[in-house]
Structure 1
Amino acid sequence: MLSASQLADRLARDAEAVCRYYLSAGHRAGNYWIVGDVANTKGRSLYVRLKGDRAGRWTDAASGQYGDLLDLVREACGLVDFRDVADEARRFLNEPRDPARAEPGLSRSGDARTASTDRPSGERARRLFRMTQPLAATLADGYLRQRGILRAALHPALRFHPSCYYRDLASGRTSRYPALIAAVTNRSGAITGVHRTYLACSGSEPGCIGKAPVDTPRRALGTLLGNAVRFGFPAKDLVPVMIAGEGLESILSLSHVMPAMPMVSALTANHLAAFRPPAGCLRLYLAADADAAGRHGIEGLSRRAQALGILPLVLNPELGDFNEDLRRLGPDRLLANLRDQLAPEDAHTLLSV
Structure 2
Amino acid sequence: MGTAGDLASCLAREAEAVCRHYLSAGTRAGQYWVVGDTGNNKGRSLYVRLTGDRAGRWTDAATGQFGDLLDLIRESCGLIDFQDVADEARRYLSLPPAERETSSKTGPTNLPSPAPPSERARRLFAMGQPIDGTLADRYLRQRGILDGARYPALRFHPACYYRDLATGQMTPLPALLAAVTDAVGQLTGLHRTWLDRDGLGKAKVATPRRAIGGLLANAVRLQFPVDGPVPVMTAGEGLESVLSLAHVMPHMPMAAALSVNHLAALSLPPGTRRLYIAADADAAGRHGVDRLSRRAQALGILPLVLAPELGDYNEDLRQLGPERLTARLRDQLVSADAVALLPL
TM-score by length of structure 2 reads 0.77
DSSP 3-state at the match of 1:210: coil
Contact conserved, 1:139 with 1:209, CA < 8 A, in 2? no
Asked whether the equivalents of residues 296 and 303 of structure 2 are also in contact (C-alpha less than 8 Å), the reply is yes
* Contact 2:36-2:46 at 8 Å conserved across structures: no
* Letter aligned with residue 211 of structure 1: K
SS in structure 1 at match of 2:92:
coil
Q: Which runs of 5+ in 1 are unaligned?
A: 1-16, 38-43, 90-101, 203-207
SS at match of 2:269: coil
Q: Distance in 1 between matches of 2:255 and 2:167?
A: 34
User: Which one of 171, 176, 179 corresponds to residue 175 of structure 1?
Assistant: 171
* Aligned mates of 1:23, 1:223 — CA distance in 2: 26
Map 1:198-213 onto structure 2 (within 5 A).
198-201=194-197, 208-213=199-204
Count of residue pairs brought into register by the alignment: 299
Query: Structure 1 pair 51/184, CA: closer, same or farther in 2 (3 Å)?
Result: same
How many angstroms apart in 2 are the aligned matches of 1:317 and 1:149? 16
Which letter maps to 2:45?
G
1:5 corresponding residue in structure 2: none
User: Contact between 2:33 and 2:48, CA under 8 Å: does it hold in 1?
Assistant: no
Identity of aligned residues (%): 55
Matched, 1:265 2:256: yes
Query: Which residue of structure 1 aligns with residue 28 of structure 2?
Result: 49
Range with bigger deviation, 278-287 or 115-124: 115-124
Give the counterpart letter for 2:35 in structure 1. W
Residue of structure 1 aligned with 2:157, choices 144, 158, 161: 161
Which runs of 5 or more structure 2 residues have no equivalent in the other structure? 1-7, 50-56, 69-88, 102-110
Which residue in 1 is equivalent to 2:282? 291
Is the Cα contact below 8 Å between 2:26 and 2:40 reproduced in 1? no
Q: CA deviation at 1:34?
A: 2.4
Q: Rg bigger for which structure? A: 2
Alignment deviations for residues 198-252 of structure 1 (CA, whole Å, 9 cap, x no partner): 00145xxxxx521111100001011101100000000115211100000000000
Q: Does 1:66 align with 2:44?
A: yes
Q: Which amino acid in 1 is paired with 2:304?
A: L
Cα 1:237/1:174, change in 2 over 3 Å: farther
CA gap 1:68/1:122 in 2 versus in 1, 3 angstroms = closer
- C-alpha displacement at 1:338, in angstroms? 0.7
Corresponding letter in the other structure for 2:119:
E
Is the contact made by 2:34 and 2:48 (CA closer than 8 Å) also made in structure 1? no
The answer to whether the 8 Å contact 2:46/2:60 transfers is no
Q: Which residue of 2 aligns with 1:306?
A: 297
Distance 1:270 1:66 in 2: 11
Report whether the alignment pairs 1:192 with 2:188: yes
C-alpha contact 2:182 2:217 (8 A) present in aligned 1: yes
- 1:179 Cα deviation (Å)? 0.3
Q: Is the 8 A contact 2:26 2:43 kept in 1?
A: no
1:34 counterpart = 2:20: yes
Question: Could you say what secondary structure the match of 1:244 adopts?
Answer: strand
Residue 92 (structure 2) aligns with: 105
- Conserved? CA contact 2:223–2:253, under 8 Å: yes
SS at match of 1:209: coil
- Structure 2 residue 215 is matched with structure 1 residue 224: yes
In 1, Cα distance between the equivalents of 2:289 and 2:237?
A: 9
Q: Secondary structure at the match of 1:124?
A: helix
Write the letter of the residue equivalent to 1:252: L
